[in-house]
Homo-oligomer: A and B are copies of this chain.
Amino acid sequence: MTTHHPFDQALVLDSTAPGHYRGQTHPAYWNMVGPFGGITAATVLRSILLHPDLLGEPLSLTVNYAGALSTGPFTVQATPVRTNRSTQHWSVTILQTDAQGGEVVTTTATAVTAARRETWSMADTPMPAVPRPDTLESVGSVSGVEWFNRYDIRPVTGAIPRQWNGQGDSSLTQLWMRDTPQRPLDFCSLAALADVFFPRVWLRRALPVPAGTVSITVYFHAGSGQLQETGAGFLLGQARAQEFRNGFFDQAVQLWNEAGSLLATSHQIVYYKE
């Protein structure tokens, strides 16, 4: 399964017992003071997908960032808390040894996997009409944000402000995105892509205040078949805040593939300062 793609390298987990793994933070997905939140969410999901007792495919995933991971090794514990006929409930924890030699929890998570059946289905949120990705420019690097170089991101609207002048007027971003180098989409990379968006407060205020995700939830609408059909193509991501209030804002996200299928929806609550 493991390839030379940096995403796969970052997700390498060595099983020490069923549901117990050792991993390493990866410099390719480093953010300013810890790993990119999306790679942590992907790591949580991978620990579930590697579990010998796994039932079905990912349906929902909630990851809570309790504390930033430091550079180096970490452990992951994934437990199938309850297995029903067609759904399975997971609890996942990431731990790291601190300077005093104690184990501290850096991440808590829950997830549900499900054996899906074909039913009546309906898309109820059409993809917005936007220019195709090959007509748009990729954004460049961002100084000090290494993980940003792992994605080809092409904004349609709501790019990072060029001027921090406090004159923002919308929290809406629409952008095309995919892994770079290209990589076929899977559940883990889809979870990571749900966290690609820069903080809504930067856009709404046109001010780069300190901000960080506290908790993210991803609902997977696509099964593995639809992910395979998507392949290594672009996804259209849309992100918007609903409320900024006393140090926290929310972000609601939709992710469509180029064919217009809604693959995942996601939400997060984000800390901000000032």
Chain A residues within 8 Å of B, Cβ to Cβ: 59-60, 62, 64, 66-67, 81-82, 84, 87, 89, 91, 93, 104-105, 108-110, 112, 114, 116-125, 171, 204-205, 214-215, 217, 219, 221-223, 240-248, 250, 252, 254, 262, 265, 267, 269, 271-274
Contact = CB atoms under 8 A, between A and B. Distances in A.
A242 B262 contact: yes
A139 B238 CA distance: 36
A116 B245 CA distance: 9
Contact of A114 (B82, B217, B248): B248
A119 B246 contact: yes
B244 A274 contact: no
A219 B118 contact: no
Nearest to A84: B67
A119 B67 contact: no
| A contact face: mostly helix, strand, loop, or mixed | strand
Nearest to A88: B66
Contacts of A109: 110
B60 A82 contact: no
Contacts of A248: 59, 114, 116, 219, 221
A37 to B, nearest CB: 14
Nearest to A254: B242
A244 B122 contact: yes
9 contacts: A62-B215, A81-B108, A119-B246, A119-B247, A123-B245, A125-B243, A219-B250, A221-B243, A242-B265
A52 to B, nearest CB: 20
A64 B122 CA distance: 24
A89 B108 CA distance: 8
A62 B216 CA distance: 10
A118 to B, nearest CB: 6
Nearest to A217: B217
Q: Which of A89, A117, A118, A219 has the most CB of B within 10 A?
A: A219
A272 B110 contact: no
Given A62-B62, A110-B62, A219 B121 contact: no
Contact of A121 (B82, B123, B245): B245
Given A110-B110, A121-B244, 16 more contacts: A59-B214, A59-B248, A60-B269, A66-B84, A81-B105, A91-B108, A112-B214, A116-B247, A119-B273, A120-B205, A124-B171, A219-B250, A219-B267, A219-B269, A221-B250, A265-B267
